[in-house]
Structure 1
Amino acid sequence: MKKYFSIIPFIAGITAPVFLPGNLAAQAGASSLAATVMADSRLDTVQARALRLLTGFSAGTSYGEVWIRDFNTFINGSLQVLPHDQVKEMLLLFFRMQGEDGNIPDGVIPKEKANVGYKYRYSGLAPQWAAHKNTVETDQESSLIQAVRKYVAVTGDQDFLFLAVNDKTILQRMEASMAYLLKERWSEKNGLIKGATTIDWGDVQPETGWGVAINEQTKWAVDIYDNAMFVMAIQDFMAMKPPDYKAQRSWSKVAAGIRSNVRKYLWDDRAQKYIPHLYLNGSPFSPSFNEKEILYTGGTACAILAGFHTSKEIAAINRQMMQAASKEKFATIGITVYPPYPAKEFPNMHPYVYQNGGDWTWFGGRMIQALILNGFIQEAVAELKPMTDRVIAHNGFFEWYDVQTGTPKGSGDFRGEAGVLLDAIALLKKWAIHQQEVNN
């Protein structure tokens, strides 16, 4: 068996790949489906191509930066093809660029290449590098903690947690990053994490201009993506910390509160979907626009991975994603939102462009992982196929795809897509091997 079949990805918030019963347990076709999965050479091809790409850390050909939100999604692959010390150094770089208030930067880039419109910051702990933070996001801190957990889970390097960066250990710095969120990105009224208004997991505000930075027009809101990511990070932190480590606060209690408040404020039980935003200082959209009709897929996938949903709810969510995808000829469940925001409501990003109705395997692949882990194997196999088919058809990994034409868009060699597909396929093969062992 090839090496990349045997390494099982660590998924944030999941202690081990435990496959829940889901839809397939009572069906006699499990053994046949497992055999089909193991015989699918196209999955092998995508895995092999992904591993060849994951020898670098930048997000893709269009980016000079290493983004922590991207790195978190392909670090499992990096650990398969790169020396572990090299991966560790990249994680340490984000801690070396950490702000005094605990915040984690979004991207890091060699100092000589720091020539875009970001507000860069520098550190004597990493003099050759510059960093910046897309301040409309609230996922950088959570992404780094999740990435550390994956590193520790794969390597067994518990000593990493006690490495000192300046005057604080990695454990202390992770706590500082979570404390930053509770201080600077917390809605006391709702007991939830907040951020600027963006499209689901996106990093661009509606108004025209430099949309990645908070400004006087910013409308603060609560959404599912930020909160699901934070809960996964807390779960990972609690799983990593030694029993005798005295945490600054009861993080499990914080996570439990967020879970409860997500159900109270964001989950629409009748519609079986999340409302896009809960606004804190007014909406950026016109009063006549019904934003609640829009389906958010990426944050919802993260919510399933965070353990927020029952099997019945997951089935309903997946049906809605499939229905949305069926509306456009070339869409998969990776379509960011449906329907997209009208141009007059979101002038910074027109319909079917980028995060406003583009198709991103980077998040669709996470939904595949969520389906596998919750026992929806038939659905996962069927819904993964169009994603892997287009990787093979276009001979590579791309940032996003136009759902109306099927054309790949954005950055080529997009490592986020490669990483989530690699992890999804590894999980699927793990299930298939387990199924064959049970039946033999």
Structure 2
Amino acid sequence: MKKSFILLALCIPIFYGSARGQSLNKQSVAREILNDAKLDTIQKRALTLLKGFSAGTSYNEVWIRDFTTFINGSLKTHDPGTVKNVLLMFFKIQGNDGNIVDGLVDTSKAHGGYEYRYSKLLPAWAAHKNTVETDQESSLVQAVKKYIDATGDNSILMEVIDGKTVIRRMEDAVQYILNDRWSEKYQLVKGATTIDWGDVQPESGWGVAINNKTKWAIDIYDNAMFAIALRDLVAMKPAGYSFTRDWSAVAARLKTSVRSHLWSAKSQKYLPHIYLDGSPFKPDFDENKILYTGGSICAIIAGFNTVAEIRQINRQMNEAASKEKFATIGMTVYPPYPAEQFPNMHPYIYQNAGDWTWFGGRIAEALLPYHMEADAYEALKPMIKRTILHKGFFEWYDVQNGKPKGSGDFRGEAGVLFDAITLLKDWANKQVKK
């Protein structure tokens, strides 16, 4: 009895010290964040850039998949009504089947080679839809939720456009996915074969449109985005409004299917694709060795993983980044697809292992709810550093030489960094007040 008491007494300060040590470490991280002047610089520069709505200097379009990632910054630089009108534009040109377009552009600049769509409700604007993607509908729902969260203006939900309220139009949008982009066999969202969250098919030619070469597949990004959209839709339900179906049940079924078919418990990672009508790659190519980072981060945000799994995903992303001199966890995939497998996009180019802060920067949103603040901050540091170094926000970076590539003044990167820093600062301020 006496011996047991002594052992217990010895254990008490050890446990207390461990908890106290964790608390002190969090305080240290919080102070470092609040004293990091580079974070302030990035946010100021981001707000300067976010006075516009097009994706960047190389793009004339307002893209919904981009806009949803910088709408919070836009609401800091524009009055809410201006931002609200941009959101409503996408509903004014919504398809009769509920589908949402990718991009909107002034008709005088509609020369991108796309099949353009027009609407009497949106004069002087043209729109187009990248049909290999399955994230436009989910992106718009998420953007409306962010608008309401930031402004408190939920009147947008009952705005009537051509006889339908916005909330009903959002239901139509997610129903479109179930009607047109749904695998009954797997109970998951489908799309064309692309690299992670990318929008280009493997085969050479015009890679952004469904064609006779398209191989239909299921990936984690599309399903994570849909899950987040369903969660947001349910959270936005106006008082007294009746949904056309039980969207919470759809979301629950989706998570079960993701866990059953896309998550590999053995490798603690998501499978790149499940193919519905054959793979576009050669039989001897083992695609499952490739790590998808952006989709994995979105999956964490969607709530698909346990804390232990999230730590494994984070470890694998950091391990992959360590293998290239200038990489961060924003490196889209690793290793890249060989050129003979993906002729439309060679290794280390664009979405084939290019490094995108636009997705890597979302790590803060992914990790902070799981008390992994230090991990999130450490992951963001190299992204912040290179943004300062190159004096601007760029579409992507070459992991082999560190050079910025693609569009300059890329608003997606600016918006994601603005949001990530805001989340870190909010956490840090709460921590130091304890």
Report TM bin, short chain.
over 0.9
Q: 1:157 aligns with which of 153, 168, 181?
A: 153
Alignment correspondent of 1:205: 201
Check the 8 A contact 2:100/2:173 in 1, yes or no: yes
Describe the superposition over 1:308-343 as per-residue Cα deviations: whole angstroms up to 9, x where unpaired. 111111110000000100010000000000000000
> CA offset at residue 293 of structure 1?
0.1
Residues 149-199 of structure 1 show CA distances to partners (whole Å, capped at 9, x for unaligned) of 000111111111000011100001000001110000000000000000000
User: Residue 322 of structure 1 corresponds to which residue in structure 2?
Assistant: 318
Q: Confirm whether residue 105 of structure 1 aligns to residue 101 of structure 2.
A: yes
Structure 2 partner of 1:384: 380
Partner residue of 1:421?
417
Cα displacement (A) at 1:243: 3.8
1:372 Cα offset (Å): 2.1
2:286 to 290, 294, 302: 290
How far is 1:41 from its partner? Answer: 0.4
Deviations 1:376-429 (A, max 9, x none): 111111111100000100000000000000000000000000011100000000
Of residues 44, 50, 61, the one that matches 1:48 is: 44
Shift >6 Å, 4+ stretches: none
Higher share of residues assigned helix: 2
- Between the aligned partners of 1:35 and 1:223, the Cα distance in structure 2 is 39
Contact 1:335 1:357 in 2 (8 A): yes
Percentage of pairs with the same residue: 63
2:364, 2:424 within 8 Å by CA — same for their partners in 1?
A: no
Structure 1's unaligned 5+ residue stretches are 1-22
Comparing 241-250 with 25-34, greater Cα deviation is found at: 25-34
Q: Partner letter of residue 328 of structure 1?
A: E
Query: Whole-Å Cα distance in 2 between the matches of residues 209 and 433 of structure 1?
Result: 51
What's the CA shift for 1:375? 1.2
| Amino acid corresponding to residue 116 of structure 2 in structure 1 | Y
* 1:172 and 2:144 matched: no
**1:230 — aligned with what?**
226
Superposition deviation, residue 27 in structure 1: 4.6
* The one of 396, 403, 407 aligned to 1:407: 403
Which residue identity lines up with residue 310 of structure 1 in the other structure? T
Is residue 68 from structure 1 mapped to residue 64 from structure 2 by the alignment? Answer: yes
Partner of 1:309: 305
Alignment check: 8 A CA contact 1:360 1:399 kept? yes
Counterpart amino acid of residue 418 in structure 1: A
Q: Normalised by the size of structure 1, how large is the TM-score?
A: 0.93
Q: Is the 8 A contact 2:357 2:413 kept in 1?
A: yes
Q: Distance in 2 between matches of 1:362 and 1:331?
A: 14
> Deviation per CA, 1:50-96, whole angstroms, max 9, x where unpaired?
01100000000000000000000000000011111110110000001
Q: Is the 8 A contact 2:91 2:169 kept in 1?
A: yes
What's 2:184 paired with?
Answer: 188
Aligned match of 1:4: none
SS at match of 2:137: helix
Matches of 1:25 and 1:244 in 2, distance apart?
A: 49
Equivalent residue number for residue 19 of structure 1? none
Q: How many residues align?
A: 416
The Cα of 1:110 is off from its aligned counterpart by 0.3
In 1, distance between residues paired with 2:255 and 2:21? 28
Q: Which of 360, 370, 373 is 1:374 aligned to?
A: 370
The answer to whether the 8 Å contact 1:24/1:378 transfers is no
Please give the root-mean-square deviation of Cα atoms over the aligned residues, in Å. Answer: 1.1
**In 1, are the aligned partners of 2:220 and 2:299 still within 8 Å (CA)?**
yes
TM-score normalized by structure 2? 0.95
> Map of 1:116-131 to 2, 5 A cutoff?
116-131=112-127
1:91-142 CA-partner distances (Å, limit 9, x unpaired): 0000011001100000000011001110001000001100000000000000
Partner of 2:433 in structure 1? 437
Is the CA contact (8 Å cut-off) linking 1:24 and 1:375 kept in structure 2? no
One-letter amino acid matched to 1:264: S
Q: Deviations over 1:189-246 (max 9, x none)?
A: 0000000000000000000000000000100001100000001001001000124211
Q: Distance in 1 between matches of 2:353 and 2:159?
A: 42
Once the 2 structures are TM-superposed, how far is the Cα of residue 373 of structure 1 from its aligned partner? Answer: 2.6
| 8 A contact 1:163–1:169 mirrored in 2 | yes
SS in 1 for 2:52: coil
1:265 aligns to 2:257 (yes or no): no
Pick the structure with greater CA Rg: 2
SS at match of 1:90: helix
Name the CA distance, whole Å, in 1 between partners of 2:138 and 2:21: 33
Distance in 1 of aligned mates of 2:76 and 2:372:
27
Higher relative contact order (CA 8 A, sep 6+): 1
Shift of 1:371: 1.6
Cα offsets for 1:333-354 (capped at 9, x unmatched): 0000000000000000000000
Residue 24 of structure 1 and its aligned partner are, at CA, apart by 10
